[in-house]
Structure 1
Amino acid sequence: MGDRASATLADKVRLAVRAQRIDPVAETGEVQRIAREVVREHDQRSLTGSVSALSEPEVEVERLVADVSGLGPLQPFLDDQTVEEIWINDPARVFVARNGTHELTSVMLTTEQVRELVERMLSTSGRRLDLSTPFVDAMLPGGHRLHVVLEGISRGFAAVNIRKFVAAAHTLDDLVGLGTLDQHAAHFLAASVRAGLNIVVSGGTQAGKTTLLNCLASAIPGSQRLISLEEVYELQCRVPDWVSLQTRQAGLEGTGEVTLRDLVKEALRMRPSRLIIGEVRAAECLDLLLALNAGLPGMASIHASSARQALVKMCTLPLLAGENIGSRFVVPTVASSVDLVVHTGMDPDGRRGVREVVAVTGRVENDTIETEPVFVRRDGRLERAGGIPARRDAFVQAGIDLDELLGTDAWAAS
C-alpha cells in the first residue's frame, strides 16, 4: 500500500479520534478500535475496485495506532526491549543503541515529521521548546527520557534523543542475576542502606547509575519516608512512603522556575527519613552536603570516571554556589558526609558492572580525602578488598554485625 493511501487512512483515524473526543495517548485501545473500523471499511471498498486492497490489514492497524497514539516510525523501536536509546541527527539519519553499541536504522523521516514528533512528545510533559528555551528535558508517558536541542543551536536540524528506561532490575539481587554485582557486595550494600549510610553512585553516561540507584533504594526500610529530587522523573522507587519531585522550567514571562536547589530546601520541610537526588550536576551539591552533614541519610548519582574522581567533583561543584564557599569548608564536609562511593561502568561489549565500592574514612590529608577500597573488580569478579566503612556505629544501631558481613576476621587472617 502506498504512503499516500496510508496517510489518508491515518487522517481518517485522526478525524474520528477528534470527533469522539478521545485522548490518543491515554486511550490507545479506543484508537485501535477506530483504526480497525477504518481498515475494515477500506477492505470493503476494495471489493468494488475503488481502492487498492491491503495486503496485511493487521500490520496496517498497528501502523495507524503508532501514527496516531504513538511515535509513528519510531514506535517499533520504543516497543523493542533490546533498544536502549534512539536519536535523530537529521531526519534521514536515525540511530538506535543496543547492548551499548549504536547502529544506523533504515528509517527516513522528513523535517516536518520530526517537528510533529517532538511536539507530540512534549504535549504531555508540560515543558516547552522555543527560541528562548532551545533545550528541553522531558519524560515521555512510557517513562522514557526525551532531550531535544532546537535547530540553530544544533546545526541544520533539531537533535533528538530518547533514552529508554528498560527496567531490567528492581533490586540488588536482580543486579546479581545480571552480573552487575556479586552476592557478597550486594549483601553489603543492602546492609549499608539499612544502616543509613550516605552513598554516592558514580559512572559515565549509560553506565547504569539510575538503575543502581533504584536498586539501592529498594533496600530502604519500608517504615521510612523517602523524598526524591530530579531534573526529570526517572527514579522508580518501590518505597511505600515516597514522594517524587522534579524541577520546572521558567514560564514565558521568565518566572516560575524551580531548580534542584529549591527542591532540596523544600524537601527538608517534608519530614524525610531519606533523601535521593537523581543526579548532582551543579550548586545543588552544596545543599545535598549540608543535608547529609546534618544527619539526614541520602543518596545521589554523579557523572565521574572513577570513585576518586566522583569525590573530587563533589568537592568542586559546591564552589558554584557562590564566592563565599571555599574548598577549606567543602573538602572536610564531603569527607564527613559521604560514606560510600559505588562506581559503575560499561564494558566495550555493552555489559554494565560495578567497578569498585569505596569507603570514605572521614580523614583529609593535603586537601585529599582518604578512601579505602571495600570491593574491587578483578578478572570479571567484584572481590573483597580490605576497606571498612568508618561509621561502624550505624551498623551496630541497625543490628548488623559488620565484621561478619564483610568477613573481616577472615580477611585479616589471610
Structure 2
Amino acid sequence: MTQADAQGALVDELDEHVRALVRREGVDPQRDAVVVRRIAEGVVREHDERSLTGQVAPVADAGAVVGELVARVSGFGPLQPFLDDPAVEEIWINDPSRVFIARHGRHELTNLMLSQSQVSELVERMLKSSGRRIDISQPFVDAMLPEGHRLHVVLEGISRGFSAVNIRKFVLRAARLSDLVELGSLTPRAAAFLEASVRAGLNVLVAGGTQAGKTTMLNCLAAAIPGGDRVVSAEEVFELRFPHPDWVPMQTRQSGLEGTGEIKLRDLVKESLRMRPSRIIVGEVRSEECLDLLLALNAGLPGMCTLHANSAREALVKMCTLPLLAGENISARFVVPTVAASVDLVVHLGIDHQGVRRVNEVVGVPGRVENDIIETESIFERRGGDLQRANGMPPRIELYERAGIDVHRILSQDR
C-alpha cells in the first residue's frame, strides 16, 4: 500500500468515527457545521495523541484532514473546495469523470474524478437540505443549497448515461448599483439614472443571456427601492437578496408524491397582488406568468423582472409572446399595446469574450406602437467598448418630478 493509499484509509477511518459521534450527539451536520468541525478537530487531536505512542500512524496534515472530514460529513465532499473557492462561479457534472467549473466567466475541466455512487450520494445530500425531491416521475429539480447556491439536476434516463448536475453559486460581488460601477459594468451616470428610475417607480425589465448578471442587476436595482414601500417577490427558487425592511419573498413548490400541492410561478404572481404590495418583483419570467405580471404593471403597480433575451428589442418581443401561452383567448392585439404601456425601461446585459459582465444598453419605452412594433428610445448604449449617453429620454417624466428627481440634470451630467 502506498503512503497516499494509507492516508486515504486513515481518513476513511476517522470519517466513520466522526459520523458516529455526530449521530450520537444528534447533530444536524448541514445546519451545525461548526459543531461538526469541533467534533472533527477532537477526533484528529485524539488520533494525534495516540500516534505518539506508536499505536496508529500519524496524520500528515491535521488541518487538511479536519477540512476534508468537515467537507465529507457537513459539506458536499469532493465538490466542497470548489464551493468554498470565491473565484468559482459555477460547477457542473456531465458524467462522474467530467466535472467542470466556471471561473471568471470561463469554463475549465477539473481533474476531479468521481464515481457514479458519489454523484448520487451528493445529489441526495443536497436535496435533503432543500426539501425537494427527484425521481422517475419528477426527473428535473431546481433547489437551493444552504449557502444560497442554486442546484439543478436532470435524472439519468432523461440525460444520457448519467445524471447531469449543475450548481450555480451565489457569489455576492455587488449589492448596489454603485458596486456595479466599481466592477466596470456600468458608468456612474447610468447608475444614477437607474437608481433614480427605481425610486421614481418606473417598471424595469432586465434582459440578457445566461450568466450575464441579470439576478445581480435585479438585486442592485431592488436595493434602491425606498424603505417605505412594501415589496413582494416571486421566484422559482430563492435567489434575490437585497436589503429592505418590508419585503415578502416567495418561491414555487413541487407537487407532492400524490401529484398535488404544486405552486407555480403564476400562482405566486396572482397571490402577491392580494398582499398589498407597493412593488412586485418576479425573479425570471419564462411562461404564462408574464400575462399576470403585465396586468399588475398595467394597473399601476411598479415592478421589475428578468428575462432571457439577446437584446432589448428581443426582450420586448418576448414579453409580447409569452402572455399568449396563457390561453387561446389572449391575442397579440391586446398584448402588444399592454407591453408598450407597462414596460418603461429595458436594461440589457451581456458578457464579453473575457468573461466580464456589462450593461450593453438601456432603452426607454415611451408607450407608442407603430404597425405592431413597440417604439423605443435608446438612453444609454455601448459604443467602442464604453457605455455612453444616447439621445433618448425615459418615459413618464412626471414620476421623476413627483419623487423630487431632476432626471434631466442626471442625464446631462458629464460623468
TM-score tier after normalising by the smaller chain length? over 0.9
The alignment status of 1:377 with 2:379, answered yes or no, reads no
Partner of 2:99: 94
Q: Point out where structure 1 has 5 or more consecutive residues left out of the alignment.
A: none
2:68 corresponding residue in structure 1? 63
Identify unmatched segments of 5+ residues in structure 2.
1-5
Report the 3-state secondary structure (helix = DSSP H, G, I; strand = E; otherwise coil) of the residue aligned with 1:362. coil
For residue 108 of structure 1, report the CA deviation from its aligned partner. Answer: 1.1
Residues 79-118 of structure 1 show CA distances to partners (whole Å, capped at 9, x for unaligned) of: 1000000011111111110011111111111111111111
Q: Secondary structure at the match of 2:133?
A: coil
Q: Distance in 1 between matches of 2:330 and 2:16?
A: 59
Find out whether 1:4 has 2:13 as its counterpart: no
Other-structure match for 1:187:
192
Could you list the per-position Cα deviations for residues 293-340 of structure 1 after superposition, in whole angstroms to 9, with x for gaps in the alignment?
000000000000000000000000000000000100000000000000
Match of residue 37 from structure 1: 42
Shift of 1:381: 1.5
User: Which residue matches 2:335?
Assistant: 330
User: Aligned partner of 1:65: which letter?
Assistant: V
Q: Where does 1:345-384 land on structure 2 (aligned, <5 Å)?
A: 345-384=350-389
How many percent identity over aligned positions?
Answer: 67
Aligned-partner SS, 2:129: coil
Higher mean C-alpha deviation, range 165-174 or range 41-50:
41-50
| Aligned equivalent of 1:158, options 146, 159, 163 | 163
Match 1:175 to one of 180, 192, 212: 180
The amino acid of 1:173's aligned partner reads S
Distance 2:55 2:122 in 1: 32
User: What letter is aligned with 1:240?
Assistant: P
Cα deviation, residue 390, structure 1: 1.8
Structure 1 counterpart of 2:238, which letter? Answer: Y
State the alpha-carbon separation in 2 of the partners of residues 32 and 241 from structure 1: 36
Taking the aligned partners of 1:300 and 1:101, their CA distance within structure 2 comes to: 26
Deviations 1:371-398 (A, max 9, x none): 0100001122211101111211111111
Looking at structure 1, the residues matched to 75 and 330 of structure 2 have their Cα atoms a distance apart, in angstroms, of 48
When normalised by structure 1's length, the TM-score is: 0.97
Q: Deviations over 1:325-368 (max 9, x none)?
A: 01000000000000000000000100000000000110111111
Kindly tell me the number of residue pairs found equivalent between the two proteins: 409
Distance 1:158 1:11 in 2: 27
Identify which of 97, 114, 117 aligns with 2:122: 117
Please tell me whether residue 203 in structure 1 is matched to residue 200 in structure 2.
no
Q: C-alpha separation between the residues in 2 aligned to 1:405 and 1:103?
A: 42
**Shift in Å at residue 205 of structure 1?**
0.3
Determine whether 1:394 maps to 2:385: no
Q: Equivalents in 1 of 2:121, 2:46: separation in Å?
A: 27
Tell me if 1:107 matches 2:107. Answer: no
Structure 2 Cα separation of the partners of residues 154 and 90 of structure 1: 10
How big is the alpha-carbon RMSD for the aligned residues of Structure 1 and Structure 2? 1.1
The residue aligned with 1:283 is 288
The C-alpha deviation readout for 1:59-96, integer Å capped at 9, x for no partner, is 10111001000011111111100000001111111111
Aligned runs of 1:249-328 on 2, under 5 Å?
A: 249-328=254-333
